[in-house]
Amino acid sequence: MTETTKTHVILLACGSFNPITKGHIQMFERARDYLHKTGRFIVIGGIVSPVHDSYGKQGLVSSRHRLIMCQLAVQNSDWIRVDPWECYQDTWQTTCSVLEHHRDLMKRVTGCILSNVNTPSMTPVIGQPQNENPQPIYQNSNVPTKPTAAKILGKVGESLSRICCVRPPVERFTFVDENANLGTVMRYEEIELRILLLCGSDLLESFCIPGLWNEADMEVIVGDFGIVVVPRDAADTDRIMNHSSILRKYRNNIMVVKDDINHPMSVVSSTKSRLALQHGDGHVVDYLSQPVIDYILKSQLYINASG
């Protein structure tokens, strides 16, 4: 497959990230490596979306702290960004709502038409002529009328970088108004761009718990978007999927990362990292990056059993 015929992917992870661990970042890396090895996908970005404060989970520290810790955890990554939209809403948002927000935002900012994971759009993903004499989004007069795939990806990546970054928590801001400045987008060769939910097998298993998830949301998450699962503790994902009619229905939209790495829950678990902090366990460095540890100590977070 050529670069332009591969599916271009943005990985989105939702969660409390209380705090964000090395394991969370490793999930992104493992998912990207696996998708690239299939030869069908190019991952052009990753988004960390911390949950709203009103989620109500015991010990959940303020989103102000969680956003900063997430930003510190990804500060050396050139493709993973932190997005504060979910935290800045008036109340808790469903995972489905977060996915739909980012899909709509990418449409508006890049001119993308995002299609379902298993039903490619018949229309070029990036761009539709907006008038009879469209102006190129590239202002350099030396740029050819029809941008190359590399330039297309560069523009999408540039947009993603500006969208998905934590800004000082001074006031709320409107992402679209600040970033929808690419001008008229020209129509050119087809590139499929999709947002996929990145999760662990524990979240996949939660889909099988009766009444926990809204079934209509599950249809959208798995059917319209698709998910990438990083198994933990050698979980049997086939068995999990067989326990849910919706997961069975959209089995082809669920991509399970298969590699030689066993992903122990302790590496990802925020709970175990908090316990290590509370007990002064030196193994906390196995769970958390040093900048995150430094921020936690400076802010005196998670110093008691309740948080």
- Residues near 49 by beta carbon (within 8 Å), at least 6 away in sequence: 12, 13, 14, 15, 82, 83, 85, 86, 98, 102
Q: What are phi and psi of 64, to 5 degrees?
A: -60, -45
Q: What's the average model confidence in pLDDT over 32-41?
A: 96
Contact 213, 155 (CB under 8 A): no
Contact 19, 57 (CB under 8 A): no
Residue 107: what pLDDT? 80
Identity of the residue numbered 15: G
Total-model pTM: 0.78
- Residues near 225 by beta carbon (within 8 Å), at least 6 away in sequence: 99, 103, 116, 117, 194, 195, 196, 197, 253
Residue 263: what pLDDT? 60
Q: Find, among 252, 198, 219, 148, the residue nearest to 43 by Cα.
A: 198
Q: Give Cα separations from 134 to 17, 154, 184 (angstroms).
A: 43, 20, 6
Q: What are phi and psi of 50, to 5 degrees?
A: -70, 150
User: What pLDDT digit, counting tens, does each position of 1-23 carry?
Assistant: 777 688 999 999 999 999 999 99
- Strand-strand pairing, 7-15 and 41-50: parallel
Angle between helices 290-299 and 63-74 (to 10 degrees): 150
User: What pLDDT digit, counting tens, does each position of 73-123 carry?
Assistant: 999 999 999 999 999 999 999 999 999 999 998 887 766 545 444 443 333
Residue 189: what pLDDT? 42
Residue 273 structure tokens: 């990292």
Residue 60: what pLDDT? 96
Domains of the chain (ranges, CATH numbers):
7-115+191-266 (3.40.50.620)
Provide Rg for the chain, Cα atoms.
Answer: 20
